[in-house]
C-alpha cells in the first residue's frame, strides 16, 4: 500500500514568508486601496521597506485599542502604514506624518487621497527633527500614539521629541529594532545598529517609560518592534 507523504515544509526565509502570506489571507483579507498603494510605491521606485500587511493591521489594532484620536508618525515613505493608522481614527481624529523626501511624500499624498483619508492626515515634508521642533512651537495637543519608523540613527532624538509631544498613557512604537540580531554587538560600526541600541537603552532606562520589545520573522525577514507607554 502506498504511503502518503506530507509536502516538504519550506525553511528559513521561505517559511517565514509563507506563514505571513497565510496569516494575511486568513486575517487581513484583500484590500484594493492598500494593494494600489504598494503598487504605486513600486512604480515610483520607493524602497520596499513598508511594514508587512499583518504588521500594518497590528498598528491599526493597537491604535484602536488605545482609542487614539491623535497619532504622530515619523517616517511616511509611500503612506502604507499611514493608511493603516489613519483608518483607526474616529471622526475628527488627526494623524501627523513626517517625511524627508519630497518625492516620497508626493507618492504618499496620492495614496492617502486615493484611500479617502486626506482630511485626517497632515503630511509634513522636511527633516523630521525640524518638523518636530515646529510641532512643539505650535503647542500641539499631545499625541495618543507615536510610531517611529524613519532613519534609525536618529531614533534616540526622535524618542526625546516623542516624550515632549506625549502625555501619560501615550503609546510609543519603534519599528526595526532587531536588525537581524546585529543589536547584540555593542561595537557594531553601522550607525543604524548603534542608534537602535541607544534607542533601546533609553527606552529601558527612562523612568517615564515602561517598555518591551518583541522579535518578529516574516516576509520582511528577522526584525522586531519596541513598544512603550508613557507613565508620567
What does the pLDDT look like over 125-158, one tens digit per residue? Answer: 999 999 999 999 999 999 999 999 999 999 999 9
> Quick check: is 230 in a domain?
no
> Quick check: is 16 in a domain?
yes
Q: Which stretches of 51-156 are assigned E, i.e. beta strand?
A: 70-74, 94-99, 121-125, 145-148
CATH of the domain at 128: 3.40.50.150
Eight-class DSSP state of 125 = E
Confidence at residue 8, expressed as pLDDT on a 0 to 100 scale: 75
> Quick check: is 231 in a domain?
no
- Say whether pLDDT at 230 is over 60: yes
Mean pLDDT of all residues in 89-114: 98
Counting the structural domains of the chain, the total is: 1
Eight-class DSSP state of 28 = I
> Quick check: is 196 in a domain?
no
Confidence at residue 120, expressed as pLDDT on a 0 to 100 scale: 98
Assign 167 a pLDDT band (cuts: 50, 70, 90). Answer: very high
- Say whether pLDDT at 4 is over 60: no
Which set of grid coordinates corresponds to residue 15? 517559511
Q: How far apart are CA 177 and CA 199, in angstroms?
A: 9
Contact 156, 131 (CB under 8 A): no
> Quick check: is 87 in a domain?
yes
Average pLDDT of the chain, as a whole number: 95
Confidence at residue 168, expressed as pLDDT on a 0 to 100 scale: 98
Share of the chain above pLDDT 90, in %: 94
Assign 163 a pLDDT band (cuts: 50, 70, 90). Answer: very high
Confidence at residue 42, expressed as pLDDT on a 0 to 100 scale: 96
Distances (CA, A) of 99 to 24, 48, 109, 157: 27, 16, 11, 16
Convert the pLDDT of each residue in 17-76 to its tens digit.
999 999 999 999 889 999 999 999 999 999 999 999 999 999 999 999 999 999 999 999
Which set of grid coordinates corresponds to residue 101? 523626501
> Quick check: is 7 in a domain?
no
Q: Which stretches of 14-93 are assigned E, i.e. beta strand?
A: 70-74
> Quick check: is 93 in a domain?
yes
Mean pLDDT of all residues in 206-215: 98
> Quick check: is 4 in a domain?
no
Eight-class DSSP state of 69 = S
Determine the structural domain holding residue 133 and report its residue range.
12-170
Amino acid at each position: 500500500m502506498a504511503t502518503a507523504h506530507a509536502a516538504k515544509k519550506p525553511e528559513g526565509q521561505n517559511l517565514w514568508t509563507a506563514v505571513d502570506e497565510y496569516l494575511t489571507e486568513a486575517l487581513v483579507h484583500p484590500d484594493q486601496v492598500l494593494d494600489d498603494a504598494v503598487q504605486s510605491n513600486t512604480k515610483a521606485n520607493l524602497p520596499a521597506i513598508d511594514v508587512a500587511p499583518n504588521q500594518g493591521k497590528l498598528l491599526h489594532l493597537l491604535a484602536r485599542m488605545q482609542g487614539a484620536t491623535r497619532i504622530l508618525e515619523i517616517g511616511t515613505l509611500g503612506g502604507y502604514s499611514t493608511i493603516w493608522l489613519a483608518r483607526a481614527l474616529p471622526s475628527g481624529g488627526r494623524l501627523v506624518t513626517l517625511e524627508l523626501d519630497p518625492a516620497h511624500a508626493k507618492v504618499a499624498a496620492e495614496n492617502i487621497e486615493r484611500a479617502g483619508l486626506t482630511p485626517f492626515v497632515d503630511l509634513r515634508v522636511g527633516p523630521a527633527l525640524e518638523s518636530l521642533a515646529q510641532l512643539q512651537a505650535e503647542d500641539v495637543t499631545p499625541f495618543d500614539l507615536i510610531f517611529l519608523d524613519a532613519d534609525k540613527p536618529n531614533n534616540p532624538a526622535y524618542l526625546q521629541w516623542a516624550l515632549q509631544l506625549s502625555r501619560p498613557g501615550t503609546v510609543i512604537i519603534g519599528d526595526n529594532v532587531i536588525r537581524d540580531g546585529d543589536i547584540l554587538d555593542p561595537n557594531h560600526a553601522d550607525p543604524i545598529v548603534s542608534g537602535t541600541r541607544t534607542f533601546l537603552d533609553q527606552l529601558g532606562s527612562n523612568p517615564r517609560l515602561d517598555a518591551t520589545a518583541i522579535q518578529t520573522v516574516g516576509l520582511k525577514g528577522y526584525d522586531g518592534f519596541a513598544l512603550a507607554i508613557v507613565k508620567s
